[in-house]
């Protein structure tokens, strides 16, 4: 029953993201942790807007396909993140328009790409480190993601897109949506005098230990 509900959630969230233009064609992928040893992942070349519950890939934490269609080649970095972050239960990877545009800019702060100017960006996304460009699906990219995942929940892939994670699929999707809207605001405000949040204001928004 629990597995069925997670499959339903993947279909529903995938359709929602696709229908609102956060992803297109067969780009992007998502996954959820079923238990300590298994994850559900979107199949290779599948559209997030046309997922079929029964065809979603069931994969072991070691990468073995247990049932369903063959997973996306990027499932490998999902597994790396799950191994690095025991509290992570869901991952969303999108090539959404404004986030991808942001990822193509030169001179980004690699430790935290966007200087916070809204409270919700701080609460749902920040910090957002930059992973330098590697060929999609390459071992170098997966290694860089695995290394960064030990320190942060979300990351921007240069010239590629973003990865957001959460303790639930809803949380990971919310982070992806918040990041896209923040990137959109960033471009809308380009050339204007932005009132950034102060360090004190940022720390007030951070979770208390």
Which residues of the chain fall below pLDDT 50? none
What pLDDT is recorded for position 208? Answer: 67
What pLDDT is recorded for position 209? Answer: 52
Q: Confirm if 86 and 31 have CB atoms less than 8 A apart.
A: no
Answering whether pTM is above 0.85, one says: yes
Catalytic residues, by residue number, are: 74, 120
Q: Could you say which of 3.40.225.10, 3.40.309.10, 3.60.15.10, 3.40.50.300 is the CATH number of the domain covering 2-205?
A: 3.40.225.10
The two beta strands, 161-166 and 155-157, are antiparallel
What pLDDT is recorded for position 155? Answer: 98
Q: Would you kindly state where each structural domain of the chain is located, as residue ranges? A: 2-205
């Amino acid at each position: 029953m629990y597995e069925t509900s997670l499959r339903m959630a993947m279909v529903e969230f995938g359709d929602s993201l696709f229908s609102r233009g956060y992803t297109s064609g067969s780009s992007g992928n998502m996954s959820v942790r079923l238990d300590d040893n298994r994850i559900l992942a979107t199949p290779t070349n599948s559209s997030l807007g046309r997922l079929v519950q029964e065809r979603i890939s069931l994969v072991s934490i070691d990468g073995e396909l247990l049932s369903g269609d063959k997973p996306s080649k990027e499932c490998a970095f999902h597994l790396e993140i799950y191994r690095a972050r025991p509290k992570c239960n869901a991952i969303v990877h999108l090539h959404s328009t404004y986030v991808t545009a942001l990822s193509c800019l030169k001179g980004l702060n690699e430790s935290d790409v966007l200087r916070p100017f809204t409270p919700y960006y701080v609460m749902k996304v920040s910090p957002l480190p930059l992973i330098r460009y590697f060929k999609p699906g390459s071992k170098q990219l997966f290694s860089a993601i695995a290394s960064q995942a030990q320190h942060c929940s979300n990351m921007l892939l240069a010239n590629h897109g973003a990865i957001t994670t959460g303790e639930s699929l809803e949380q990971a999707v919310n982070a992806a949506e918040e990041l896209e809207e923040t990137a959109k605001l960033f471009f809308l405000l380009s050339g204007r005098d932005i009132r950034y949040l102060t360090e004190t204001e940022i720390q007030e928004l951070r979770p208390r230990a």
